[in-house]
Each structure stands twice: as structure tokens, then as C-alpha cells.
Structure 1
């Protein structure tokens, strides 16, 4: 299993305003803006990212991009892990599912299509 990046998913009532903090103060670059979710990344290390999400329903606290999300999903099912959002192809180009870790954190496990 190959992990490509790990990104904190922070709640933000106004994701664009929160993104300005990271871009203007810390030098991150805007790499995704869906309105309700914004991701900023380091220009020197594009896998160093922060995602800012408008809280709506079930929200992950952490995203882990893996090489093969289907394999991780199958392993989670086999282990009896609590999958709280089904394996889904999202319109913005990712395939993902949410799983709850033993401490209760919701983790977004994702691959780009």
C-alpha cells in the first residue's frame, strides 16, 4: 500500500477567507477551490497541503491519498472497520470513502482518477 500524501481537513465557515490566511501569511498557493472546499499547497513541496472545508454533515478530519483506494477499501471491509461514507466516484475527479479510526476520527481515504 502506497501513501502519496496526508492532508488535514480543517472546518472553515468561510473557506476562501481561511485560504487567504495560508496564502498571504504563509506562502501557500491555492490549488483547488470548489467553493465549499479549498485546498492550499506549498509551492516548494506540493504534497504539503491544508484543506479548508465548510462544515456540512459528516466531515473528515484527515485525508490520506493512497495509490489504490479500492484495495484499502477492501482491506477495511475485511477488517470490519466502520465505513461511514461509501466508496464513491466524486464529480471533482477522486474516488474515496470515509472510515472511522479507533479514536473516533473520520478519515477520508482517496485516490485521484
Structure 2
């Protein structure tokens, strides 16, 4: 299984202030859906932080997002292991396929892949 990136998800009630703080560290906003935004390093685009004010399609805000090459294969492996599935696998309207699981420490992991049909050329 190939991991493309692992990103901390920061649940915030102060998104504007949080964005400004992380911009002081050199991050730039690369995606903003209103309730969630991604900040990335301009020189190392896989170095990212996600700011989330609320979760739009799941029961909880995740603690970490892990982008994988094949989310369906990871979902099958996690289910087979008996680990808790917090939110079932599904396609999202913003072009990702994802599910949530809980690690042994109680942290919620958003396991995600970008769908090919939504990739820009």
C-alpha cells in the first residue's frame, strides 16, 4: 500500500487566525472549501496542515488525514483487521473517496484518495 502524504487535521474555531499563524511559518493556502482548508509549503507541497471548522459528511472531525494510492484496498484491510470504522467508504462531491477509522489511541484517521475522474489535466 502506497502512502502519498500524512497531514495533521487541526479542529479550529478560529480559522482566519489559524491560517494567519501558519502563514507566518511559511505555509500558503492551496485549497479552501469554507469549512476546511489546506495549507502547504510552497517548496515542499506534501508538507501540509488541514484546518477544519466542522466536518460536513462525517460524525466527527478527524485528527489525521492519510492520502493513499488505493483507498479501497486500505478499507478492506482495515475492516478485515477488526479496527473500528467510524465512517464507511464513500465518494465526496469535492473529488475524493474516503473513510474514517479509529486508531488504538482513539485518534480518528481520515483515509483518502483523490478520484481520477476529478483530476485536472
Q: CA RMSD in A?
A: 1.1
What is the CA–CA distance in structure 1 between the aligned matches of 2:18 and 2:105, rounded to whole Å?
Answer: 27
Deviations 1:14-60 (A, max 9, x none): 3233112112x112111110111111000010000000111455010
What is the CA–CA distance in structure 2 between the aligned matches of 1:14 and 1:91, rounded to whole Å?
Answer: 25
Give 1:37's aligned residue: 36
What is the CA–CA distance in structure 1 between the aligned matches of 2:4 and 2:16, rounded to whole Å?
Answer: 25
Q: How does 1:1-113 map to 2 (within 5 A)?
A: 1-23=1-23, 25-56=24-55, 57-113=59-115
For residue 110 of structure 1, give the secondary structure of its aligned residue in structure 2.
strand
For residue 72 of structure 1, give the secondary structure of its aligned residue in structure 2.
helix
The answer (yes or no) to whether the contact 2:66–2:110 under 8 Å persists in 1 is: yes
For residue 64 of structure 1, give the secondary structure of its aligned residue in structure 2.
strand
| Structure 2: gaps spanning 5 or more residues | 116-121
| Structure 1: gaps spanning 5 or more residues | none
Q: How many residues align?
A: 112
For residue 104 of structure 2, give the secondary structure of its aligned residue in structure 1.
coil
Q: TM-score, normalised by structure 1?
A: 0.94
Give 2:119's aligned residue: none
For residue 16 of structure 2, give the secondary structure of its aligned residue in structure 1.
helix
